[in-house]
Amino acid sequence: MPNIKIFSGSSHQDLSQKIADRLGLELGKVVTKKFSNQETCVEIGESVRGEDVYIVQSGCGEINDNLMELLIMINACKIASASRVTAVIPCFPYARQDKKDKSRAPISAKLVANMLSVAGADHIITMDLHASQIQGFFDIPVDNLYAEPAVLKWIKENIAEWKNCTIVSPDAGGAKRVTSIADRLNVDFALIHKERKKANEVDRMVLVGDVKDRVAILVDDMADTCGTICHAADKLVSAGATKVYAILTHGIFSGPAISRINNACFEAVVVTNTIPQEDKMKHCPKIQVIDISMILAEAIRRTHNGESVSYLFSHVPL
């Protein structure tokens, strides 16, 4: 493809390489380093004048450093006369801080949106935003892709009893996500109502739906400390589920997450590679990874060619 450059930030170079390989491109030359005072320095190693530039940087690892690195890379390309700069952010940082839910609470996702726009981003490509209203925080185009096609494919290929399963949302907020998957598989769905005492700590869970003598598949957009999905798995087993799987788009797995998964009753915890999982997989054999580089690469190709991205990912055949 002519007049296109893809650069990788330091957060997830493996995913960036897979995207470039699928597009038949070489990753652009870029050097990122830190000065002794921990300031981030970025040097773009080739001309981007008049080019359609895509910068791949996921919101994971050292999130604040990686976000600052992304902003600097966007700005460096913009002031070097790139024709368009697209930030490809598989896992959007600060996505859970999307609303003012108590007095004096910040809406940090809006702040990040403003920073990306001010840095010079012309377009955002991301995946499974925690809250879809984040798209409205931007005054530039945002393509929120969905991992659903890859999830459906994994279920059909890896769960023999998928026709006798129930798709379960671990909270009411994910009801739309699980009903969409359940409709496309033509199976039942259920949800779990949870009450929190405080952030990252669930007080009580109530199952709404039937999972007795069925395979239960928990589906969520992200898992951090994994307290919710592990409690949900216990609830499903006590309600009569024969097997429990968890399928998550963003596997953050911080704090006690890995030990909780190892001690939980999951057959498998399946995540996409929006976040690097190699180290986590070494300590947890239950974790399996779905590669979504094909979806991101196709979105980049269609964006570059001026084709519809939203149409493509709402009409993926099973």
The pTM for the full model equals 0.92
What is the C-alpha separation between 135 and 143, in angstroms, rounded?
8
CB atoms within 10 A of CB 71: 21
What pLDDT was estimated at residue 317? 39
What pLDDT was estimated at residue 174? 85
Q: What is the DSSP string of 72-139?
A: HHHHHHHHTT-SEEEEEESS-TTTT--S--STT---HHHHHHHHHHHHT--EEEEES-SSGGGGGG-S
What pLDDT was estimated at residue 228? 86
Q: At what angle do helices 293-304 and 148-158 cross, to 10 degrees?
A: 150
What is the C-alpha separation between 224 and 227, in angstroms, rounded?
8
In degrees, rounded to 5, the angle at the alpha carbon of residue 134 between the alpha carbons of residues 129 and 138 is 125
CB atoms within 10 A of CB 81: 11
Nearest-CA neighbor of 73 among 90, 91, 52, 87? Answer: 87
Burial of 267-296, coded b for 16+ CB within 10 Å and e otherwise, reads: bbbbbbbbbbbeebbeebebbbbbebbebb
CB atoms within 10 A of CB 140: 13
In degrees, rounded to 5, the angle at the alpha carbon of residue 171 between the alpha carbons of residues 166 and 177 is 60
What pLDDT was estimated at residue 178? 92
Tell me the two tokens of residue 302: 């269609």
What is the residue type of 15? L
What pLDDT was estimated at residue 200? 57
In degrees, rounded to 5, the angle at the alpha carbon of residue 228 between the alpha carbons of residues 225 and 232 is 140
Q: Are 121 and 77 in contact (CB under 8 A)?
A: no
User: Given the structure tokens 């991101």, which residue do they identify?
Assistant: 296
What is the C-alpha separation between 5 and 233, in angstroms, rounded?
44
In degrees, rounded to 5, the angle at the alpha carbon of residue 71 between the alpha carbons of residues 65 and 73 is 100
Q: Are 297 and 23 in contact (CB under 8 A)?
A: yes
Q: Are 303 and 285 in contact (CB under 8 A)?
A: no
Grouping H, G, I as helix, E, B as strand and the rest as coil, residue 22 is helix
Per-residue pLDDT 10s for the chain (318 aa) are 779 999 999 999 999 999 999 999 999 999 999 999 999 999 999 999 999 999 999 999 899 999 999 999 999 999 999 999 999 999 999 999 999 988 999 999 999 999 999 999 999 999 999 988 999 999 999 999 999 999 999 999 999 999 999 999 988 888 888 999 999 999 999 999 876 666 655 567 888 889 999 999 999 999 999 988 998 999 999 999 999 999 999 999 999 999 999 999 999 999 999 999 999 999 999 999 999 999 999 999 999 999 888 755 554 433
